[in-house]
Amino acid sequence: MNIAVIGGGYVGVTTSVAFAHSGHRVYLVDNNPHKLAHLSNAQLPFYEEGVKALLQTHVDSGNLTITDDLTATLHHSSIVFITVGTPSQANGQADLSFVNAVARQIGQTMQNEQTIVIKSTVPVGTGKRVKEIIAMELTRRNVDIPFEIVSNPEFLREGKALYDALYPNRIVIGYDSKKAKAVMEQLYNDTNDSILFTSINNAEMIKYASNAFLATKISFVNELARLCERVDADITVVTEGMGQDKRISPLFLQAGVGYGGSCFPKDLQALQQIGQKYGTPMTILQAVENVNHTQVNWFLDKVSQRLGSLHNKHITLLGLAFKPGTDDIRSAPSILVISQLLAQEVQVTVYDPQATSHIKKRFPTIHCATTPLEALHDAHAAILVTEWPEIVNIDWKQAKSFMKESNLFDGRNALSPHYMKQLGFHYEGVGIHG
């Protein structure tokens, strides 16, 4: 099929590459000249394992065209995916200006029948609104071109984006006409994965509900971890026991310094705003956010209690990205950790295999090391913030010999407390300090 993808960010690029890989002819449209220049040379504006190589392959093969020409693209395509950003506004509502602008552009320029698929994460009712905008533009042009609206929310995980796009673990399709359903069935006809066909409103809600529930699991466990420390229990064992119950599942039960990234914080805010708009306050989500907002400070209290005044102390952060496998630092806990340490005049050194260039723009005074051992040189304490394999698998014996004081604070419970203590570290994790 001939597919247009509008918005060349994490989701748009990965989606385009995956469709091209499945044999479709894909046109990826972005309006940011800087991004376009990168993508046209098969350079990614972000780090995501495997995507760059496949982008290069399909740009070279001619299966994937990178362009800023939406009009020509619509002429070539019959399915249009909208993958532009939906960031938070100051009040927490999803900013739909990019989605609405694309809808207007489609209505102003389309010449042939289109199925318009919203992949961006959008509040319930957006599909209906996009339909109205396009219909309004067609009326203004005095033309009658048929079009369908579909909601197909994206569930890919950064760090595993390509795998998830190629082998999605579920596909949700919201539609309101037989024609739209038939187009989507044809598009996904070679997938073995389960497809849920439902209404557009349901599909829009499923995306927010999923992210909100995962964030809830994390905050629940983080709050439980605080209690575990008080009652001399170990959160890793408690969650292991909980996870053995199939109804609970062991996934997303790892205690740590909190969630971050481009989705959970903004989607939680957006769902709360939707609740407010419809007179149904999302009280659980307020608590989820509250735990997450206070988790970094709760963890940093351990550092202060151990080191006393942090003034002029040298502290190393191991990991900056909001999770391993990505260079994304949007709303990453590392940002709050660094801000809090700098406020106490700590000398901060950081190491991350992919994200240091982004953090340097935000905090120009911090020292960015190129290896974990260099980062740990002369440190009074290390804080593990992101559990990259290259951090977890440091030669910790050697690391200890590089440090001024052997204080190790594991913000992801990624290391063996027993082994670290055996090596002579003063080790503290999250909810496991008896």
**Interface residue list for ligand NAD (CB under 6 A):** 6-12, 29-32, 35, 83-86, 98, 101-102, 120-121, 154, 156, 158, 262-263
Looking up tokens 């042009």 gives 141
- Please, what is the minimum distance in Å from the beta carbon of residue 13 to ligand NAD? 8
Is 258 part of any known ligand binding site? Answer: no
**Beta strand pairing status for 314-318 and 347-351?**
parallel
Best CA proximity match to 332, nearest among 313, 370, 358 = 358
Spatial separation of the C-alpha atoms in residues 349 and 398, rounded to whole Å: 18
368 counts as catalytic: no
Spatial separation of the C-alpha atoms in residues 196 and 179, rounded to whole Å: 16
Catalytic entry in 149, 224, 238, 263: 263
Is 35 part of any known ligand binding site? Answer: yes
Is 277 part of any known ligand binding site? Answer: no
Q: Which is nearer to ligand NAD, 35 or 131 (CB)?
A: 35
Cβ proximity of 412 and 386 under 8 Å:
yes
Best CA proximity match to 121, nearest among 163, 151, 92, 97 = 151
Is 25 part of any known ligand binding site? Answer: no
- Please, what is the minimum distance in Å from the beta carbon of residue 71 to ligand NAD? 12
Cβ proximity of 368 and 344 under 8 Å:
no
Scored b (16 or more CB within 10 A) or e, 38-49 reads bbeebebbbbbe
Cβ proximity of 399 and 425 under 8 Å:
no
Q: Which is nearer to ligand NAD, 84 or 221 (CB)?
A: 84
Best CA proximity match to 264, nearest among 328, 200, 179 = 328
Q: Quick count: other Cβ atoms within 10 Å of Cβ 232?
A: 8
Cβ proximity of 314 and 349 under 8 Å:
yes
Spatial separation of the C-alpha atoms in residues 389 and 318, rounded to whole Å: 11
Residue nearest to ligand NAD (CB): 9
Q: Quick count: other Cβ atoms within 10 Å of Cβ 364?
A: 7
Q: Which is nearer to ligand NAD, 8 or 260 (CB)?
A: 8
Write out the two tokens for 341: 């340490």
- Please, what is the minimum distance in Å from the beta carbon of residue 244 to ligand NAD? 29
Is 369 part of any known ligand binding site? Answer: no
Q: Which is nearer to ligand NAD, 324 or 429 (CB)?
A: 324
Is 362 part of any known ligand binding site? Answer: no
Q: What is the DSSP string of 38-56?
A: HHHTT--SS-BTTHHHHHH
Is 330 part of any known ligand binding site? Answer: yes
- Please, what is the minimum distance in Å from the beta carbon of residue 36 to ligand NAD? 9
Is 155 part of any known ligand binding site? Answer: yes
Best CA proximity match to 80, nearest among 119, 43, 53 = 119
- Please, what is the minimum distance in Å from the beta carbon of residue 29 to ligand NAD? 5
Q: Which is nearer to ligand NAD, 43 or 283 (CB)?
A: 43
Q: Quick count: other Cβ atoms within 10 Å of Cβ 404?
A: 13
Q: Which is nearer to ligand NAD, 217 or 313 (CB)?
A: 217
Spatial separation of the C-alpha atoms in residues 333 and 356, rounded to whole Å: 14
- Please, what is the minimum distance in Å from the beta carbon of residue 206 to ligand NAD? 12
List, by residue number, the catalytic residues. 263
Binding region = 30, 35, 86, 121, 155-158, 207, 252-256, 260, 266, 323, 330
